[in-house]
Structures are given as structure tokens and as C-alpha cells.
Chain A
Amino acid sequence: MTFEYKVQGGDFTHAGYASSQVKKMLKQLDVDNVVIKRVVVCLYEAEVNIVAHAWDGVISIVLETDTIFMKLTDNGPGIPNIEQAMQRGFSTASHEVREMGFGAGMGLPNISANADKFLITSEPGKGTTVEITINLNSTAV
């Protein structure tokens, strides 16, 4: 099964929509709760990164019997230094975004802690692609 969701940069009112849809779907499929939680953390953080840092993007979810593959592709400023972006506490979020409680620089570390496979590719000035894979039938990270 493949699903697609569009994400609009700056639109914090709908942030988390895709994550909540995917969570419902996995619950219906009786996926282990611990695994669902890891999927939700990864997808929410990646979704919010498009809202907070990019212009617009597409989330595609490929659900197979034993894995979920989530690919988030955005048009945006890209990430000039991915290693730096991955560091806990590093954030370029605006003051307004920080005031809402986003922009703590914990999003990418959260994804890294919860994904089985995690890949970021980025072209500065163009956009970023985040690819996350989680095995659905094992609870260990």
C-alpha cells in the first residue's frame, strides 16, 4: 500500500496530520504499540521539519507486511551541513517557531534514535529528502 500526503511550509495548524493518519492505520493493522510509537516519533519530526524549515513537500508512505518506508521530499533551503544538523541542540528555527516549543534541535536526533534506517540527502537551495525505514515486526531499535 502507498499513501501520499502534502505538507505546506509554515502551516503549523495542520502539522502532524500525516502522522496521525499513519498511526490510525497501523493500529488497525494491529502493529505492536512500541513500533507504532517509533513510527509516529519519526514521521512527526520529519513532517514538522518541512513545516518549520522548508517551503512545501510530499510525504510518501509505503507500507509492506513487515516494514514501513517513509520518504519526505521537500522544496526548501536544504541542509548545507547534515552532520551539524544531526547534532542534538543544533537548530536554525526562527524565534517564533522556538516560542511555540519547536526548534529545540532534537528532531533529527529523535528520528535517528527511533528509525531502523535513516537517510538524509539534501541539495542546498533546492530541498531535502528524508528516508526512514522501520521494521514492523521487531520492537528493538
Chain B
Amino acid sequence: MKVTDIVEKLGLNVFSGHEGLGREVTGGYVSDLLSDVMGHAESGDLWLTIQTHRNVMAIASLKDISAVIITSGEKPGDDTIAQSNQEGIPVLGTELSTFELAGRLYSLLN
């Protein structure tokens, strides 16, 4: 499944990184602790978080995350958006909580 399919099926906002909407999604990871993501996320994962600062993009890029989904209606910072566009890794958003989104995403991917 591609990022764009997930956007469509779950009604997500696309804040930035449109170039990367064709990236392949192979799984998901949920965490707001950056070292946890660093240590455990797999490449191709969607990353669900409420963190909005630009270090999220540095990690997403280093780990080859397919896209970042910011939950609970939080918005990415300007420098996060800029880096997302530069890396071509989408930053998506939802009003849903991480719990609700993860549930829907899990059934979609499995």
C-alpha cells in the first residue's frame, strides 16, 4: 500500500512532502520518544506521533520512514514542513488520537 492510499482511506491532511506520497508503506510504529523510534522503527513504517518539531524529520529520514502522521490535531512547525519537503517524506495529520488512528491503520495494513 502507498502513502497516498492511506491518506485517502483514513481521510488524512497532507501538510507537506507531497513528492513522497507514492512511498510504499510496510508497517507502522507509534512513539513520541525519539530514541525508541531510532531503535525500533523499521524502514517503510508510518510513524504516528504528537511530536511536531523538525528533529522528527531528521529521524524519519535516517530511518527511511514512509511518512509521519501527527495525531490529535497537532500541526507541524514551519521548519518541520520545510525539511519534509526537502526530504520528500510526507507529514500527514489527523484530528484522531494516536489510539484511534493506530487501530484503523492496523486493520488497514493487516
Given contact pairs A102-B34, A104-B34, A16 touches B62 in the complex (Cβ within 8 A): yes
Count of interface residues, chain A, beta-carbon cutoff 8 Å: 24
* Cβ-defined contact, A100 with B51, below 8 A: yes
Interface flag for A19 (CB, 8 Å): yes
Which chain A residues in 97-138 approach chain B with CB under 8 Å?
Answer: 100-102, 104-107, 109-110, 113
Q: Tell me which residues across on chain B come within 8 A of A41, comparing CB atoms.
A: 38-39
- Interface residue SS majority, chain A: helix
Interface flag for A44 (CB, 8 Å): yes
Which chain A residues in 13-39 approach chain B with CB under 8 Å?
Answer: 13, 15-16, 19-20, 23, 33, 37
Q: Report the contact-size class of chain B (Cβ under 8 Å from the partner).
A: 20 to 34
* Cβ-defined contact, A100 with B34, below 8 A: yes
Please measure, in the bound complex, the distance between the C-alpha atom of A37 and the C-alpha atom of B54, giving whole angstroms.
Answer: 20
Please measure, in the bound complex, the distance between the C-alpha atom of A107 and the C-alpha atom of B36, giving whole angstroms.
Answer: 9
Q: Tell me which residues across on chain A come within 8 A of B34, comparing CB atoms.
A: 48, 100-102, 104
* Cβ-defined contact, A100 with B38, below 8 A: no
